[in-house]
Chain A
Amino acid sequence: MKFVAITSCPTGIAHTYMAAEALEQAAKAEGHEIRVEPQGAAGAQALGADVISAADAVIYAADLEVRDKGRFAGKPYVDVGVKAPINDAKAVLASAAEAARARTGAASGAAAAGTGGADVPTPETKVASGAGVGTRVRQWLMTGVSYMIPFVAAGGILIALGFMIGGYEIADAEPSTVIDDFSVVSAHSWGALLFLSGDALFAFLVPVLAGFIAFAIADRPGLAPGFLGGAVAVTVEAGFLGGLAAGFLAGFVALGLGRMPVPSAVRSIMPVVVTPLVASFVTGLVMFLILGRPLEALMSGLSSWLGSLTGGSLILLGAVLGLMMAFDMGGPVNKVAYTFATAGLATVGTTSGDAVEFTIMAAVMAAGMTPPLGLALATVVWRRLFTPAEVQNGKAAWLLGASFITEGAIPFAAADPLRVIPSLMVGSGVAGGLVAASGATLRAPHGGVWVIPLIGSPLMFLAAIAAGSVVTALAVWALKSVGRRSRPPESAPTAPRGHRRLTSRLRPPRREDPRRTEPCPSAPRRSARPSACTPAPRACSCRPRWRPGSRSASPEKTDPPATPAACSR
C-alpha cells in the first residue's frame, strides 16, 4: 500500500526525524511505499499533490498542528502522535492500512447487506488502489458537510435561544434593535441579539457547504468559486441541493483549470488568481443563467398546483405540504409549502375560531420539525449508522427540531441525500397528514415548541410530531441499512474508530507550534449577510431573512418572488 506521513514534535529536532525514519524503515520491511514529510526544524520538503493523491492513507504522527492539512482533505487517515511510530511503526502502518481498507470497503458496499445494527466487524475486502467514484463523491460531500456542521449547530442553537428568550416575534427584529436600542435588562434585546447572530451564521450554511465541497475536489483554488456557487444558490433560492450542485460544479471547473497545461510564467499565479477567477465566473454564470429561471418557473408551478389542492381533502393537503417541507429544507419546494401556509395565515388574519388556514400552518410547522427530530432519534437508537460527527450533530438536532429549525437536518441530508431525503419526506408527510386529520391549529408562522400556547389541540400536534419523527427514524434506519455495512463510512475529518483507541492510548495533547502561526481556512471577511438588501434583478433575490423552515415569507406576504418585503429593511 502507499502511504504519506507527517511527523512533528515540539522541538522539531529529535522525535520528528526518528518517527520519520521509523516509518520509512518499517514500510520498507513490510513492503509498503511511504513518503514522509517531517515538519521539523530542518525545513520540510512538502509532499507533492501527485504523491498525496496516489496514497491510500495518511499517517499523522504529529504533536503539532499539521501544516497545510487541507492537502489531505478526504483521504483516510490515522492520527497517532509522534511517539507511536518510534515505539511501534509496524502497528501504525497496520492501522493506516486498516483505515484505507475501511474506506474502500465501505464504498464497495455490495456485500453484507442487511447486517445493519448487528455488531459485525468490517469485513476484509480487497483494496483497490485509487478509490472508486462513489467513495470519492462521498468524501467530497462529507468534507463540505463537516465544515458546515458547526454553522448549523451554533446558528441553530442561537436562533432557538432567541426564540426562547424573545418569543417568536423576535424573527422580525431589526438589527437596530440590537445596535441602537440594546438594553441589558430587556429580554427582547437579548433575544434579538441571539436571533440575529444565529441568522448571520445561517447565511453561511449553503456557501460553506458548496465552498468546501469544491475545496475537497480542487483544493484551495476551488474555495472561492465554491463559496460563490453557494452564495448564488442562496440568491436564486436553490437551497442546499443547489449548493451541492454548485459545489461540484465549482470544484470540477477549478480542478480542470488546474490541470490545464499553461506556460510556466502563468503557472505560479494559476492557483491564486487565474483558477479562482475563471472558475468563479463560470460557476456564477451557470448558477444564475441556467438554474435561476427554471427554479422560478418550478416555484410558481408548485404554488398554483398547491392552490388547486385547496378545497379537496385537507389530510391529503397536509401530507403533500409535509412532503414538500422535507424535500429540500430551505430550497424552492420547501419555500413554496411554507409560503403557502403563511400566506393563508395572513388572509385569515386574527380571525377567531378554527379557520382551516390555522390547521395548514400547524401541519407545515409539524412537518418542518420532524426532520431534525427524527434524525436526532435515529442517531441515538442506531448510532452505528452515522459518523461520529453526525452523532454529535444529532444532539443539537433535538433543540433545532423542537424550535422548527429544519436546517438541523441538512448535514445529514447533504451527506447522504438519496437515503436521507426520502426518509425525511415520509416522516414529514405523516406528521403533516396527522396534524391535518387532528384539526390542530397554529396562529404563529414559526417558533416550534416555544409557541405551544398559540396551538389549538397541542397534544394532538405533539403526538403527530412524535409519530412523524419515529417514522423518519425508522425510514432512515431502513434505507441506511440496505446495501451498506454495519459500520458507517468514516467522514473525512473524523478518525476511523479502530485507530481512535490507539490514538487515545498513545498521543499526548497536541500543542500549539511555537514556531509559526498557522493560517486556517477562514470564513469570508465580508459581512455575515453579504447580499442583504442590495439591489438585485429579482424582486426578492436578496438573501432572505431566515425564517423557520428557511423561508423568508412573512405572513402578510402572498407571493414571495414578487413582494420584496424581506428586502425593504
Chain B
Amino acid sequence: MSEPNRPLVTAELVDTGLSASDRDDAARQLAALLHKAGRVSDLDGFLDDVRAREAQMATGMPGRVGLPHARSAHVAVPSLAVGICPGGVDFGGPDGPARLVFLIAAPAGSDEDHMRILAALARKLIHAEFREALLESPDARSVADTVIREVDVA
C-alpha cells in the first residue's frame, strides 16, 4: 500500500519468452517477477491463493489465454504480470494451450478504483485485436505500454 499509484504493469513484469512446464510453473515464474518488484510480499503464500482460485475453475480462456489470478493478503498493489509463451502452456482453455498468460494480483482489501482497472483489463481480453497486439509486441516495454494504454480507464 506504500505506492498505491504504481502502474498496473511495467516492463520488468513482462516475460516475452516464457517457457513453463505447466500452469503452476508459469504462475510461479510470473509471480517471481511480482515478488522481485516488491509487489507481492510472500511468494508462496500468494501462489497458494492463486492455486486455490485455479482449483475452483480453470482460468484458461478462449483465444489461448491463461488468466491465473487471486485476491490475496500478500499483494501490496494491484499488479499484472504478463508472460508470452510461444510454446504454449496448458491452462485448460477451450482452444489449446495458452500463448498469453496474465497473472493478476489484487490486494485482499483493495478499493473499487483499483478493481475497475482490473475489470477493464478483463474486458480487453475478450478482444482479439488486443491479444494480437500483445503477441506482436517487439519487447517487454511495448507489451506493458499496450496494456496500460488499452486499460486506461477513461
Contact = CB atoms under 8 A, between A and B. Distances in A.
B67 A10 contact: no
Interface in B101-116: 104, 106, 110, 112, 115-116
A75 interface: no
A400 B110 CA distance: 54
Interface in B45-102: 53, 56-57, 59, 61-62, 67, 69-71, 94
B61 A43 contact: no
B125 interface: yes
Nearest to B123: A21
Nearest to B67: A14
A16 interface: yes
Contacts of A42: 112, 115-116, 118-119
A41 B126 contact: no
Given A41-B112, A43-B112, A14 B122 contact: yes
A20 B122 CA distance: 10
B112 A18 contact: no
A13 B94 contact: no
Contacts of A86: 61-62, 126
Interface string A1-19: 0000000011111111110
Contact of A15 (B71, B112, B116, B122): B122
Given A42-B119, A43-B115, A86-B62, A14 B71 contact: no
B107 to A, nearest CB: 11
Given A21-B123, A38-B119, A13 B57 contact: no
A177 interface: no
Given A10-B56, A18-B126, A87 B119 contact: no
A11 B53 contact: yes
A22 B119 CA distance: 13
B91 to A, nearest CB: 12
B126 A22 contact: yes
A18 B61 contact: yes
Nearest to A9: B57
Contact of A41 (B57, B115, B125, B127): B115
Contacts of A134: none
Contacts of A63: 57
Interface in A505-523: 508, 511
Contact of B122 (A10, A13, A508, A511): A13
B57 A10 contact: yes
Q: Is the interface of B mostly helix, strand, loop or mixed?
A: mixed
Given A38-B119, A43-B115, A14 B57 contact: no
B126 A10 contact: no
Given A13-B106, A13-B118, A14-B118, A21 B126 contact: yes
A23 to B, nearest CB: 10
B69 A13 contact: yes
B126 A16 contact: no
Contacts of B118: 13-14, 17, 41-42
| Highest count of chain B CB atoms <10 Å: which of A17, A25, A40 | A17
A18 B57 contact: no
A494 to B, nearest CB: 25
A83 interface: yes
Contacts of B125: 18
Contacts of A10: 53, 56-57
A25 B70 contact: no
Nearest to A82: B57
Interface residues of B, number: 26
Contacts of B71: 11-13, 41
Contacts of A25: 126-127
Nearest to A13: B118
Contacts of B53: 10-11
A17 B57 contact: no
Contacts of A12: 71, 115
A508 B119 CA distance: 22
Interface in A73-130: 83, 86-87
A17 B117 CA distance: 11
Contacts of A38: 119
Given A11-B71, A13-B104, A21 B122 contact: yes
Nearest to B58: A83
B126 A40 contact: no
Contacts of B70: 11
Given A13-B104, A14-B67, A25-B126, A40 B119 contact: yes
A566 to B, nearest CB: 54
B115 A13 contact: yes
Contacts of B57: 9-10, 15, 63, 83, 508
Nearest to A89: B126
Contacts of B116: 42-43
A72 to B, nearest CB: 23
Contacts of B56: 10, 508, 511
Given A10-B53, A41-B71, A18 B123 contact: yes
B149 to A, nearest CB: 17
A14 B12 CA distance: 23
B43 to A, nearest CB: 19
- Which of A14, A25, A38, A86 counts the most B-chain CB atoms under 10 A from its CB? A14
A437 to B, nearest CB: 65
A340 B122 CA distance: 70
Nearest to A25: B126
Given A11-B53, A13-B69, A13-B106, A87 B94 contact: yes
24 contacts: A9-B57, A10-B53, A11-B69, A13-B71, A13-B106, A13-B119, A14-B69, A15-B59, A17-B118, A18-B122, A18-B125, A22-B126, A25-B126, A41-B71, A41-B106, A41-B119, A42-B112, A42-B115, A42-B116, A42-B118, A43-B116, A83-B57, A86-B61, A508-B56
Cβ-closest 6 pairs across A and B: A17-B122, A21-B123, A42-B115, A41-B115, A17-B119, A21-B126
Interface of B: 53, 56-57, 59, 61-62, 67, 69-71, 94, 104, 106, 110, 112, 115-116, 118-120, 122-127
Interface of A: 9-18, 20-22, 25, 38, 40-43, 63, 83, 86-87, 508, 511
Given A13-B106, A18-B122, 14 more contacts: A10-B56, A11-B71, A14-B104, A17-B118, A17-B120, A17-B122, A21-B122, A21-B127, A38-B119, A40-B119, A41-B106, A42-B115, A42-B119, A43-B116
